Structures are given as C-alpha cells and as structure tokens.
C-alpha cells in the first residue's frame, strides 16, 4: 500500500487522499436518546455498517490496494471485539472517535475526559495502537484538543481551518490537524432516518461522485488534502460503494494523487519544515452582543 513520503507533507503529489470511515454503528442514534435502542428497524439500519458495510469496504480497499483510516467509537469496538483487530490486520489504521459518540460540545470537561479515556481503555485492552482522533460530529472543544495532546496522540481530524494539514499548539505540545469539510462527508448526501431525523434527502451516487470528483480535481490544482469522510452504514450500500470505487479509480488514473493513512500523513506533517504552528480558535463572544 502507498503512503506519503518526503520533506513536504504532500511528498510531491498534487493532492493527498485520506479515505476515512467513521464506524459509528448504533452510537449516534443512542446519543440522540437511549429509547431508540428498542427501535429494531433503526438499530438494524445502523448495525449494517460494521456487519455488512465494513467487510465490503475492506475487500474494496484490498482490491484497489489503497490504505484507509477507520475512526471507531469505543462503544462499537467494545460491543464488536474483533472489529478493530480485523481492520488493523488488513493493513489499515484504527483511530479514536470518542466512546459514546456524544458531541464534546454537549459535555462538560469531566464528562469529556471520562468518555475520551474510556475509549482509550477499550482499545488498550484489545491491543490496538491509537495515534489519532476525530471528535463525534466534529464538534471539538478546547478540552478535546487538550485531551488529544495530554494522551500523546499525534493528530486530530475535526476542524476546518484549512484544506491542507496544519500544526496546532496545544498546551505546549504540537498536534497535527487533518482538516475536514461537509462537502466531503457522505452524511450530507445519504443520511436518512425518520426518527431520530438525521436527514431528509437521499442523493444519487452519480451526483455524489460528480461532486467529489470536482473536489478532487480542484484540490489537485491547489495541492490540498482530500480528506473523505464516509460512514459504512451509508457508503457500504451497493450503489454507493461502486461510486466510491469509481472515485478511487479516477484518483489513481490521475497519476499524481497519493493515498495515505491519517497517521502516516500526520508523520509527514510533523516532518515538513515549512509548516508553522497555529493556535486553536480562541473566540471571545461579548454576552452583551451575543446572548445565549
């Protein structure tokens, strides 16, 4: 499988592609309300991701010889104890995606720490090395980044301050940020459930493929990070997975796109002497101007 090498984070490629899969399974629905545990249609809809989608995705990645990163909530790894190991054995990365998939912005600092560390304990018990993190719903707070730095993780992938990797200074420690964006998230294209309502439109995979190919070519023009965020319960469905195959084959045919696991791209980011460290966003909102 290919990676990213060289002094510059992009290793000379026109764009770097990170294929990332958020293996949320039941967690985002349970985070919306534990009463949904008794909704069998809804629970089966979510279980499709790890039980059907992930094996198909792993076969596709093997077939096309590309690496990927799977962001797995600790709850999902705990309830499917062989899942994370299978992903790693196939040559891919497993990364931290909270324990419960509750948004950090909905928790206080004590709750965040407990959730964050509980996930680490699950992966440690399973012998899974964790070097990166993605916040549930991408809703990171300053506490979230502090936990990433405190526990020695090398990167986060939750913020939107650029379309190239950058370095954050967090409590005197560097954290590589691999930025994301809604335009490269399949949730905005395919997510639908009547209750809890998580979307109202199911797009055609052909339309989605056109969008993502346009993003890829524009990012090749500007030498960017094509950080694609997919959910196996969504993109593991047959027509959508074939569209993903088309997208990967298009990127390979360009001849100037490198595929990398997030942990490898983070290492290349640290090694790039041209990248300066930034501070995380620190916005103060005057309550007299912006009331709660």
Three-state SS for 199-236 is CCCCCCHHHHHHHHHHHHHHHHHHCCEEEEEECHHHHC
pLDDT at 4: 43
Residue 217, CB half-sphere, CA atoms under 13 Å: how many? 9
CA atoms within 13 A on the CB side of 211: 14
Q: In angstroms, rounded to a whole number, what is the distance separating the alpha carbons of residues 257 and 184? A: 16
List Cα–Cα distances, 282 to 46, 142, 243, in angstroms: 36, 9, 39
Residue-by-residue pLDDT tens, the chain, 292 positions: 444 444 799 999 999 999 999 999 999 999 999 999 999 999 999 999 999 999 999 999 999 999 999 999 999 999 999 999 999 999 999 999 999 999 999 999 999 999 999 999 999 999 999 999 999 999 999 999 999 999 999 999 999 999 999 999 999 999 999 999 999 999 999 999 999 999 888 999 999 999 999 999 999 999 999 999 999 999 999 999 999 999 999 999 999 999 999 999 999 999 999 998 899 999 999 999 999 8
CB-CB neighbours of 87 under 10 Å: 25
Q: pLDDT value at position 140?
A: 98
Structural domains present in the chain = 19-278 (3.20.20.370)
């Amino acid at each position: 499988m290919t990676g990213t090498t060289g002094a510059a984070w992009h290793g000379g490629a026109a764009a770097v592609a990170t294929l990332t899969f958020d293996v949320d399974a039941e967690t985002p629905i349970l985070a919306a309300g534990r009463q949904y545990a008794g909704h069998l249609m809804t629970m089966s809809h979510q279980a499709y991701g790890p039980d059907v989608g992930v094996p198909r995705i792993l076969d596709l990645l093997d077939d096309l010889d590309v690496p990927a990163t799977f962001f797995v909530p600790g709850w999902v790894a705990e309830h499917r104890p062989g899942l994370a190991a299978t992903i790693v054995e196939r040559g891919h990365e497993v990364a931290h995606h909270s324990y419960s998939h509750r948004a950090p912005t909905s928790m206080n600092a004590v709750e965040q720490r407990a959730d964050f560390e509980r996930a680490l304990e699950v992966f440690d018990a399973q012998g899974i090395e964790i070097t990166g993190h993605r916040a549930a719903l991408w809703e990171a707070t300053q506490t979230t980044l502090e936990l990433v730095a405190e526990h020695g993780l090398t990167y986060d992938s939750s913020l939107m301050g650029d379309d190239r990797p950058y370095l954050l200074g967090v409590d005197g420690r560097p954290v590589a940020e691999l930025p994301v964006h809604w335009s490269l998230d399949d949730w905005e294209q395919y997510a639908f459930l009547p209750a809890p309502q998580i979307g109202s439109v199911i797009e055609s995979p052909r339309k989605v493929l056109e969008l993502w190919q346009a993003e890829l070519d524009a990012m090749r023009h500007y030498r960017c990070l094509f950080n694609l965020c997919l959910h196996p319960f969504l993109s593991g469905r047959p027509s959508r997975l074939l569209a993903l195959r088309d997208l990967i084959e298009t990127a390979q045919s360009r001849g100037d796109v490198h595929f990398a696991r997030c942990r490898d791209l983070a290492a290349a980011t640290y090694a790039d002497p041209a990248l300066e460290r930034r501070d995380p966003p620190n916005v103060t909102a005057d309550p007299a101007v912006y009331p709660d």
